Chains A and B, each alone.
Chain A
Amino acid sequence: MELREALYKYLLRIGDTSLIAGQRLAEWVSEGPTLEEDIALTNISLDLFGQARAALSYAAEVQGKGATEDSLTYLRSEREYYNTLLSELPNGNFANTIANQFLNDAYLYHFYTALGKSKDEKLAAFAIKSVKEVRYHLRHTGEWVVRLGDGTEESKNKMQSAIDDVWMFTGDLFEMDEVDETLIEMGIGVDLNEIKRSWDTTVNKVLERATITRPEDGYMQTGRLDGQHTEYLGHILSELQYLQRAHPGAEW
């Protein structure tokens, strides 16, 4: 596979995951269980949007066909999005949001830590910057998993159900194809098998402390690599893209 094509797709996968996770968390604006939590979730959302902008503007540059971070965001259809399925799942109750976000944060934390050593200088700089922010996100959601899991009977049940419900989407995080192989060979990309091991350690440590039982790995729903999504992404995009689709080129 050609380097430019592989790097472009790799950057879309990174940028799309941040963008969609950020959009999901933004739905918590004014709906948070407490004022502090409202502010926390939307601060995390803002960091994710910033990371998405950096990754997607680099993707546009690599593609070299006149795209911009905005055109990539507003004008691609569902099947042209390559975010993780985990990032597009509905917020559900607060425990669902925390479970989804925690598993995503643990993934991004280890992924960006490894990507910081990429031979692509721009990608490495982006990863080193991002991991500083993700460290705070992971600390936040990890502490909530413990607080809810090791809390009251009701909070524990909700946290356990949330982890059980989302588990079948975690296999998707670690799927690889020729895009990954091409970039790993060149020292640019990250081996997701290694990320899986670090992710397991982090997740196990938190779940144990939270007295939550780690679900068995069973059937895993995947699709990220080919742009195959759950039914939820279309709804996110219809809201995210509405203005630019209805009024092409509209500006503030």
Chain B
Amino acid sequence: MMVEIVSESKVWEWLNEVPDPEIPVISVVELGVVRSINILDDKNIEVVITPTYSGCPAMNIFEEDIEKKLKEKGFENVALTTVLSPAWTTDWIKDDVLDKLEKYGIAPPVKGTADKGALFESGPKVVRCPKCKSETTVLVSQFGSTACKALYTCSSCHEPFEYFKCI
């Protein structure tokens, strides 16, 4: 019997069903954590991933969930390889995914602000309130409930909200 090997685009589709454990409206693929796929044969596959932040505690969950999904789909061995280069950046997140983040209540990263200076050089940047869309908002802290988010407060509706910060 001929063994049919699944296509790479099918595997991408499956992985796109694996949600980010901390932001379930987006998938590990949309986040940019999955870099490439090598289908070795019908039983063996390698998935190359990159961490968002060096110490991101969600990375282990990403790995477990990816492995679980691919085993459900019939692979017996799922090898996960971690690479650090190119370094993960929020600039990889596509526009439609940014919209999903905003609808979920997290202000999406402001494009192109990822590599600004380290000290006092970040310049004015408009972070729009995901709830009332006001552009008058105030940074409360560069660090939030997860490594990838900062805390803001809206000056118009007075609600606190999270900002998916640029890196």
How far is it, in angstroms, between the C-alpha of A47 and the C-alpha of B59 when the chains are bound? 13
How far is it, in angstroms, between the C-alpha of A68 and the C-alpha of B152 when the chains are bound? 40
Chain A residues, Cβ within 8 Å of B83: 125
Closest A residue to B88 by beta carbon equals A129
Partner-contacting stretch, out of B25-33, B123-131, B138-146: B138-146
Please judge, given known A-B contacts A47-B55, A53-B54, A138-B119, whether A125 and B141 are in contact too, CB under 8 Å.
Answer: no
Residue among B51, B55, B57, B142 with max Cβ neighbours from chain A (10 Å): B55
For the complex, count residues of A whose C-beta is within 8 A of B.
37
Q: Is A140 an interface position by the 8 A CB rule?
A: yes
A129 and B87 within 8 A (CB): yes
Q: Is A50 an interface position by the 8 A CB rule?
A: yes
Size class of B's contact patch?
A: 20 to 34
Kindly count the residue-residue contacts between A and B in the assembled complex, taking CB atoms under 8 Å apart: 90
Chain B residues, Cβ within 8 Å of A121: 85
Interface string of A53-70 (1 = CB under 8 A from B): 110000000000000000
Please judge, given known A-B contacts A47-B54, A51-B55, A53-B54, whether A140 and B167 are in contact too, CB under 8 Å.
Answer: no
Main secondary structure of the interface of B (DSSP, over half): loop
Main secondary structure of the interface of A (DSSP, over half): helix
Q: Is B92 an interface position by the 8 A CB rule?
A: no
Q: Is B56 an interface position by the 8 A CB rule?
A: yes
Please judge, given known A-B contacts A54-B54, A130-B54, A205-B119, whether A36 and B140 are in contact too, CB under 8 Å.
Answer: yes
What residues of chain B have their CB less than 8 Å away from a CB belonging to chain A?
Answer: 51, 53-57, 83-85, 87-89, 114, 117-120, 122, 140-145, 147, 151, 165, 167
What residues of chain A have their CB less than 8 Å away from a CB belonging to chain B?
Answer: 36-37, 39-40, 43-44, 46-51, 53-54, 109, 121-122, 124-126, 128-130, 132-136, 138-140, 142-143, 202, 205-206, 209
